[in-house]
Structure 1
Amino acid sequence: MENQDYQITEEELQRFRKRGYNDDLLPKPLSKRMMGKLNYFTLWMGSVHNIPNYTAVGGFLFLGLSPINIMLALVLSALAVALFMTFNGRAGSKYGIPFAIHLRSTYGDVGAKLPGFLRGCVAAIAWFGLQNYTGSLALLILIGKIWPGFLTFGGDTKILGISLPGLTAFTIFWVVNMLIGLGGGKILNKFTAILSPLIYIVFGGMAIWAIRVAGGIGPILSYNVAGAAHNISPVFVYFMIMNSVLAVWAAPGASVSDFTQNAKSTKDQTVGQIASLLVGYGIFAFSSVAILIGGSIHYGIQEWNILNIVDRWENSFAIIIAMLVFLLTTVSTNATGNIIPAAYQLCALFPKKIDYKKGVLLASIISFLIMPWKLMENSASIFIFLNTIGAVLGPVAGTMIAHYYFVEKQIIDLDQLYMDQKADNQHNVYKGLDKSAYVATVVALVICLSGHFIPALKIISDISWLAGFASAFCMYLLLRKMLKKNESERTAN
């Protein structure tokens, strides 16, 4: 089938370069797009297996659904994520444009700063801190196996709510990630091909171990979680799980054009991403539930944190291998998915005062000050974090998709989008701030966050990404319709 994506000409690229755009912002010509179906298939499969995802599943087990329903909910959630990623990525794959330019097409060149800040700073810095903390937990266990005395360092002394060994491990891992961020993190992509298979070997082995020690798959599927909630509608629990999984992918989903701009075709990114997420989450759904419940059965104590299960193993070599995989996965995804976007966004917001390296340092310091260890104190705290991220980025995603499919109807004027900043852009549709997009995003954001402060609206915060996406989507289209009607009336008069 012939590729129907837009083929940018060299003449257009030269014209945009003369207007001051560097190669990072220019549309990618089809000749330079090297990612096919297989590339996208392997892109996300390794990212599914991270500590926060396993921690979230531990929380899901307390929502009252049976283990098999948890697995099914995760697979359905993966389908929702796949559709979100592929649909929001079509502007990137059709025109070869990155996230920053995709945002401009929706919000205007001035209006794009707010959603860019929400994705690049708020979400990225928060995730950077959380990933650093979860990685430091793996590092703490690893150090403890090599140097047991380290775990008793400082006794019961706590600083900012964390033990001295915990704070030391966090600081070490934080510094490592910050240094990699300063270097750009490009070297990490070189071992992704090795890391991804290693992840599945390790977690596949852990699932087999869990089934064996639990006495088979039967006891795992029939396990009843003590203390699980039974006053929540099972249908609503499905929505809560779907919302949490979407919140995990809210940041890369919003900026997915940074990945799909390299697609050989829209079909390639669509088939590859859907297959990647469905297969990845299918395996994750089974392995996560099996490991957490199997480990709980084996050790006679309910455990929602996978690291605590690994720490109970008797084989030190197996513990070290598992923790190294956790560390490598965290470093890889943290640098490219969190600290680098945060640094670039800070550069974009304060170009005269902050360069890339200063952006990395500032984002890293902020991620430390928010004390991310508070986000994993119990099985409920991870929900609060995910729901907050969902509230922040759900409205952005809803506005972007509504604009591209129902306002622009998948047609972008690149000549206007890559405007000459020195020229008169008074009649440029992408100039300034799109008030409808801005109002829809901000109002939806306030609605979603209100559930954290108004008890009667808690139900909204429990499905914050879904609520934010839907409310911004509908509100934006309604505002656009009202604006178009007012313009028609003024023209008629």
Structure 2
Amino acid sequence: MKRDDFEVTENQITEYKKRGYNDDLLPKTKDKRNMGAGNYFTLWMGSIHNIPNYAAVGGFLFLGLSPLNVMIALFLSAFFVSAFMSLNGIVGSKYGIPFAMHLRSAYGNFGAKLPGFLRGCVAAIAWFGLQTYTGSLALLIMIGKIWPGFLHLGGSVKILGIGIPGLISFTIFWILNVLVGIGGGGILNKFTAILSPLIYVVFGGMAIWAISAAGGLGPILSYRLSATAHVNPILVYFIIFNSVLAVWAAPGTSVSDFTQNAKSTRAQVVGQTLGLSLGYLIFAFSSVVILIGGSIHYHIEEWNVLNIIERWDNFPAVIISMAVFLLTTISTNATGNIIPAGYQLTALFPKRLHYKSGVLIASLISFLIMPWKLMENSDSIFVFLNSIGAVLGPVAGVMIANYFFIHKRHEDLDDLYMDLDTNNKDVLYHGINREAYVATILALLLSLSGQFIPALSGISDVSWFVGFGSAFIIYLALKRLVPKKALETIDD
């Protein structure tokens, strides 16, 4: 590993186990840190090409930018995302620690519970259910193409508010996602290595079809939507940047769950930066071309990529494309939702749960919340997701400010892995970092203010930037104004 990275010893691991930590929370030793730049290059490829992201691009086209400018804005978004992911992942790659312990270093052992619950439980479990349901729609279409009678099973009968074909499709796809989640990072590395080449082939082929179907690239680039709004182009760019960052708010906050396995910090920084840049370059071009080309060809303004594919007459092309969308959804669910949920439940109940049991509990909850019911009202879904993004933007701002400017890129693992039953307030990370909480709450109120105060409605369009930036600044200011111990403590 790079010289600057920390190598934990077996004696430390033995001691931390005695203090009550299970294997899922322990820092990774050198022999277990096996993810190189190539692994990180492919890690997020599948997460970019998912069905909700294609729907988001359809919305971006309504904001007033030309198709070419939407492509450019999407590509530039990758640099914001990769900087966020790489910087926040340094703690994990340097010390080999997961998100739960990274969060403790910023908020304290007791203070980490609330932001950890919001990220690993509320956001991850709900979004896992929604992504699974969205993917199951692709599976439903694919099964219907193979076996048309399947779509009519049960007639109009509904169970838990969903038709029998839909429930069967959701259950099958849910099981596939759970199995990949249980496999963890090891399975995911193999999964993404297979998926990445398929993405190039399938989405490249879809883009070629769309260009041909539209009569060339010219009609696509000159296309204008009838409902196009007129707003400041610079503002639209930042709205797109903000939306893309909001999509990555959850995995970016908990990215240490993946960078803890890095062979070196350089490996994760280079791998993530190149992977996200290339991934968004492909996505920016393919998504805009496919959506507009399909709309021109079928003489409709159709921004659901699944509906466009469903109209194809080529049976093998439909099956292959839908299959790749299913795989990308599984990749997204694993990296961004179910793996973080498993780790966070383990962190909340370290003596009762381990990673696999955490995954099973989170998966069961994601089924019981009946995500298809949430999908009945698209407005409520976006309000929920924007709210989660507004919460996690401030959390990420505090985490990055704390590591680089307060702790000055150094963590004390012996104090971080304190005895779980300790009441020693002299331990650096014990209790609650009150400044972190104040900064997070104030930034959260500010980032959400646009939803409640009409005069500040513009803030909602850049809520992640507002939440992240204000938490970053407020936290550092409070630390300067209140120069006490690194962490304030309370009895917990």
TM-score of the two chains, using structure 2 as the length reference: 0.90
For residue 393 of structure 2, what is the aligned residue in structure 1?
394
1:118-143: CA deviation from partner (whole Å, max 9, x where unpaired)? 11011101220121111111011112
For residue 490 of structure 2, what is the aligned residue in structure 1?
none
For residue 309 of structure 1, what is the aligned residue in structure 2?
308
Aligned to 1:110, the other structure's residue is in SS state: coil
Kindly report which structure 2 residues correspond to 1:284-323, keeping only aligned pairs within 5 A, or say none.
284-323=283-322
User: CA-atom RMSD, angstroms?
Assistant: 2.8
For residue 274 of structure 2, what is the aligned residue in structure 1?
275
For residue 215 of structure 2, what is the aligned residue in structure 1?
215
Aligned length: 486
Stretch of structure 1 that moved more, 448-457 or 287-296: 448-457
1:193 and 2:193 aligned:
yes
For residue 39 of structure 2, what is the aligned residue in structure 1?
39
Alpha-carbon distance change, 34 to 364 in structure 1, aligned in 2, over 3 angstroms: closer
Aligned amino acid, residue 239 of structure 1: F
Shift in Å, 1:369: 5.1
For residue 470 of structure 1, what is the aligned residue in structure 2?
469
**Identical-residue share of aligned pairs (%):** 70
1:133 and 2:130 aligned:
no
1:324-376: CA deviation from partner (whole Å, max 9, x where unpaired)? 11112222432453223324423433567766666445433543455534666
Alpha-carbon distance change, 350 to 14 in structure 1, aligned in 2, over 3 angstroms: closer
Alpha-carbon distance change, 110 to 467 in structure 1, aligned in 2, over 3 angstroms: same
1:212-261: CA deviation from partner (whole Å, max 9, x where unpaired)? 1111111111100121222x322221111111111111111111112212
Stretch of structure 1 that moved more, 448-457 or 193-202: 448-457
For residue 54 of structure 1, what is the aligned residue in structure 2?
54
Aligned to 2:483, the other structure's residue is in SS state: helix
Alpha-carbon distance change, 224 to 385 in structure 1, aligned in 2, over 3 angstroms: farther
Alpha-carbon distance change, 240 to 372 in structure 1, aligned in 2, over 3 angstroms: farther
For residue 439 of structure 2, what is the aligned residue in structure 1?
440
- For 1:378 and 1:461, the matched residues in 2 are separated by 20
1:21 and 2:21 aligned:
yes
Kindly report which structure 2 residues correspond to 1:83-482, keeping only aligned pairs within 5 A, or say none.
83-152=83-152, 165-178=165-178, 181=181, 187-230=187-230, 232-350=231-349, 359-360=358-359, 362-368=361-367, 370-373=369-372, 383-422=382-421, 425-482=424-481
1:129-164: CA deviation from partner (whole Å, max 9, x where unpaired)? 121111111011112112223334566777777555
Judge conservation of contact 1:111–1:432 (CA < 8 Å) in 2: yes
Judge conservation of contact 2:152–2:165 (CA < 8 Å) in 1: yes
- For 1:268 and 1:484, the matched residues in 2 are separated by 36
Shift in Å, 1:62: 1.2
Judge conservation of contact 1:56–1:383 (CA < 8 Å) in 2: no
Alpha-carbon distance change, 43 to 82 in structure 1, aligned in 2, over 3 angstroms: same
1:379-408: CA deviation from partner (whole Å, max 9, x where unpaired)? 877754542331121111011011111111
- For 1:46 and 1:290, the matched residues in 2 are separated by 19
- For 1:44 and 1:181, the matched residues in 2 are separated by 15
Alpha-carbon distance change, 273 to 218 in structure 1, aligned in 2, over 3 angstroms: same
Shift in Å, 1:203: 0.6
Stretch of structure 1 that moved more, 375-384 or 167-176: 375-384
Aligned amino acid, residue 64 of structure 1: G
Alpha-carbon distance change, 423 to 145 in structure 1, aligned in 2, over 3 angstroms: closer
For residue 82 of structure 1, what is the aligned residue in structure 2?
82
- For 1:363 and 1:456, the matched residues in 2 are separated by 39
For residue 491 of structure 1, what is the aligned residue in structure 2?
none
Stretch of structure 1 that moved more, 55-64 or 357-366: 357-366
Note the residue ranges of structure 2 that are not aligned, 5 or more in a row: 487-492
Stretch of structure 1 that moved more, 394-403 or 445-454: 445-454
Note the residue ranges of structure 1 that are not aligned, 5 or more in a row: 488-493
